[in-house]
Amino acid sequence: MVLLSSSCANVPSNGKQTSERAAQATDVISSSGNIARAVFRATAVAAVRQPVTTFKLGLVTLWQRPREIIVGNLPFDWPSQAALPDVPGTWQFEKLLDRKHFPAAESGSLKWLVDGPGFFPEVDRQLASATRSIDAQVFIFDNDDIGVRYADALKNRAAQVRVRVLFDDFGSTFSWTASPATLGEPGFVPPSDMEDYLTNHSKVKVRRTLNPWLACDHTKLFVFDRRTAILGGMNIGREYYSEWHDLMVRVEGPVVGSLAREFNRAWRKAGPSGDFALFRKPRIFRRHKPVTEGIPLRILRTDPAESRYDILDATLLAIRGARKRIWIETPYFGHDDIVSACAAAAGRGVDVRVILPASGDSPIMDAGNLATANTLIRAGAKVFRYPKMTHMKVMICDGWACAGSANLDTLSMRINRELDLAFSQPAAVRELEKVVFTPDFRRSRRVELAETESAAAGIAETLVDQL
Model confidence over 311-359: pLDDT tens digits? 999 999 999 999 999 999 999 998 999 999 999 999 999 999 999 999 8
> How far is it, in rounded angstroms, from Cα 87 to Cα 322?
6
Predicted confidence (pLDDT) per residue in 219-228, tens digit: 999 999 999 9
> How far is it, in rounded angstroms, from Cα 406 to Cα 416?
9
> How far is it, in rounded angstroms, from Cα 63 to Cα 200?
42
Q: Give me Rg for the CA atoms of the chain.
A: 21
Q: What's the first-to-final CA gap in the chain, in angstroms?
A: 11
Sort strands 325-329 and 394-397 into parallel, antiparallel or unpaired: antiparallel
Please name the residues in contact with 82: beta carbons below 8 A apart, sequence gap of 6 or more: 348
Predicted confidence (pLDDT) per residue in 146-169, tens digit: 999 999 999 999 999 999 999 999
Q: Which helix (DSSP H) or strand (DSSP E) does residue 311 occupy?
A: helix 310-321
Give the model's pLDDT for residue 453.
Answer: 84
pLDDT exceeds 70 at position 402: yes
Q: How far is CA 278 from CA 49, 209, 273, 331, 448, in A?
A: 12, 15, 9, 34, 51
Q: Which is more confidently placed, 291 or 67?
A: 67
Q: With bands split at pLDDT 50, 70 and 90, how would you rate the model's confidence at 62?
A: confident
* Mean pLDDT rounded to a whole number for the chain: 89
Architecture of domain 69-105+292-467: 2-Layer Sandwich (3.30)
Helices within 228-309 (DSSP H only): 238, 255-269
> How far is it, in rounded angstroms, from Cα 430 to Cα 422?
14
Mean pLDDT score, 383-398: 97
Query: DSSP letter string over 34-74?
Result: HHHHHHHIIIIIHHHH-HHHHHHHHHHHHHHHHHHHHHHTS
Helix (H, G, I), strand (E, B) or coil at 327: strand
Predicted confidence (pLDDT) per residue in 16-38, tens digit: 455 555 566 777 777 888 999 99
Mean pLDDT score, 389-418: 97
Measure the CA dihedral 283/231/97/432, to 10°: 150
pTM for this predicted structure: 0.91
Give the model's pLDDT for residue 2.
Answer: 43
- Of the chain, the percentage scoring pLDDT greater than 70 comes to 85
Give the model's pLDDT for residue 3.
Answer: 44
pLDDT exceeds 70 at position 5: no
Give the model's pLDDT for residue 15.
Answer: 37
> How far is it, in rounded angstroms, from Cα 15 to Cα 236?
24
Mean pLDDT score, 410-417: 94
Asked if 354 contacts 328 with a C-beta cutoff of 8 angstroms, the reply is yes
At 1, the amino acid letter reads: M
pLDDT exceeds 60 at position 400: yes
Give the model's pLDDT for residue 61.
Answer: 85
pLDDT exceeds 70 at position 75: no
Q: Which is more confidently placed, 71 or 311?
A: 311
Mean pLDDT score, 226-251: 97
pLDDT exceeds 50 at position 288: no
Mean pLDDT score, 385-405: 97
Helices and strands counted in the chain (H then E)? 19, 16
Mean pLDDT score, 228-250: 97
- Four-way CATH pick for 20-49+111-290: 3.40.50.720, 1.25.40.340, 3.40.50.300, 3.30.870.10: 3.30.870.10
Q: With bands split at pLDDT 50, 70 and 90, how would you rate the model's confidence at 178?
A: confident
Q: With bands split at pLDDT 50, 70 and 90, how would you rate the model's confidence at 363?
A: confident
Angle (CA) 69-75-78 rounded to 5° is 110
Q: Which is more confidently placed, 3 or 447?
A: 447
Residue ranges, CATH 3.30.870.10, the chain: 20-49+111-290, 69-105+292-467
Q: Indicate the length of the chain as a whole number.
A: 467
Closest CA to 153 of 124, 129, 130, 132: 124
Give the model's pLDDT for residue 23.
Answer: 60
Q: How far is CA 60 from CA 57, 226, 415, in A?
A: 5, 33, 7
Give the model's pLDDT for residue 399.
Answer: 98
- Of the chain, the percentage scoring pLDDT greater than 90 comes to 74
Mean pLDDT score, 440-445: 98
